[in-house]
Amino acid sequence: MPKIKVPGLDISGTIAAVGPKVKSGLKVGDEVVAMLDFSQSGALTEYTVVEET
């Protein structure tokens, strides 16, 4: 099945899960805003996964 491109670059919301290698101090429940990379997009989904920066 081919991947479907979902539009949208800017996101805001609440962290639902954090990976074990996250070192920034972000935790579940924190409110965040971000701008996704043009190659990633997908901000119009209910949940999205992003790299820690």
More confident residue, 31 or 40: 31
What would the pLDDT profile of 17-30 be if each residue is shown by its tens digit? Answer: 999 989 989 999 99
Say whether pLDDT at 50 is over 90: no
Global pTM value: 0.73
Please compute, for residue 46, the number of CA atoms within 13 A of its CA located in the half-sphere on the CB side. 0
Using alpha carbons only, what angle is made at residue 27 by residues 23 and 25, rounded to the nearest 5 degrees?
A: 30
